[in-house]
Amino acid sequence: MNKPRVVLADDHSIVAEGLARILETEVDLVRTVADGRSLLEAVTELEPDMVITDLTMPGLNGVEAAKRILGDQPRVKIIVLTMHADVKFAEAAFRAGVHGYVVKGGGSSELVAAIKDVQRGKHYLTPRVTEEPLAFFVERVRASNRTEDLTVRQREVLQLIAEGASLKGIAQALGISPKTAEAHRYAIMKELDLHTTAELTRYAVRCGIVSAE
C-alpha cells in the first residue's frame, strides 16, 4: 500500500514537529499548518489523500474544517488527533464525516493503526472515548446529525463569539460589517433559543465547537 499524502494541522508547533518525525516512515507529509483556514487552503492546493487535524484551532475549528473539506473533496480521509477524550467531541467529529478519532497520549502506535485502518476504508475510534462497538457508535452519531441547525457563516460567528471576539473583531476576521456580524449573532440566538453571550459560549463548548480550556 502506497504512503498516503498527508496534510497535518496542529496549532502547537512542538506537537506538529514531533508528529512529523513520528510519521515520516508512514506517510508522505506534504504540508503542516497551524489553523483551520490554512488547512482549507492547503487541501485545495495540494489535494492530499488524508488530513490529520487537531480539533481546537483558532479561527476555524477542526470539525468545521472537516465539513468544508469533505463538502469539496469527499474522497479525502480525515483523522482527528486531539487531547479531548470526551465523547461529545468525538460525536461532533463523526457527525462532520471524519474517518478516525485518536486521543493524544495514546502512543504513536495508535495513530499509525488509525492511519492504516482509515487508508483501508475503515473507521477508527480510540477506545479511550467509548466502549461502544465502533460500527454502532458511528451509525448512531451519523443518524443524529441535525447539521447543527446553523449556516456555515453562523457557525463561524458562533466560534468567534465563544473565543471572546467582539462584533468588530468578528467583522474583521470574516470580512463583513459589524452590523452584519450583529445580525448573525441575533439569528444564532433566535435559532438556538439562547439569550446571552455566556449561553452561546456554553453551547459552543457543549457541541465541541470550542474547548472549555
Is 96 in the same domain as 83? yes
Q: With a cut of 50, say whether residue 49 has pLDDT above it.
A: yes
For 49-71, give the DSSP string. SEEEE-S--SSS-HHHHHHHHHH
What's the pLDDT tens digit per position in 111-141? 999 999 999 999 998 887 765 556 656 665 6
Query: Pairing between strand 77-82 and 50-53?
Result: parallel
Q: Is residue 108 part of a domain?
A: yes
- Higher-confidence residue of 194 and 33: namely 33
Q: Is residue 211 part of a domain?
A: no
Is 115 in the same domain as 50? yes
- Higher-confidence residue of 159 and 7: namely 7
Is 172 in the same domain as 82? no
CATH number, domain at 52? 3.40.50.2300
| Full-model pTM | 0.68
Q: With a cut of 70, say whether residue 19 has pLDDT above it.
A: yes
Domain that holds residue 163: 147-206
Q: In what order do the strands lie in the sheet with 77-82?
A: 28-33, 5-9, 50-53, 77-82, 100-103, 124-125
Is 81 in the same domain as 155? no
CATH number, domain at 163? 1.10.10.10
Q: Is residue 212 part of a domain?
A: no
- DSSP alpha helices (H): ranges in the chain? 13-23, 36-46, 62-72, 87-95, 108-119, 134-143, 152-162, 167-174, 178-192, 197-206
Is 93 in the same domain as 191? no
C-alpha cell at 196: 446571552
**Percent of the chain clearing pLDDT 70 (strictly above):** 88
The Cα 55–Cα 208 span in angstroms is: 8
Is 134 in the same domain as 102? yes
Q: With a cut of 80, say whether residue 74 has pLDDT above it.
A: yes
Q: Is 64 left (phi over 0), alpha (psi -120 to 50) or beta?
A: alpha
143, 172, 197: which is the final residue of a domain? Answer: 143
Is 82 in the same domain as 173? no
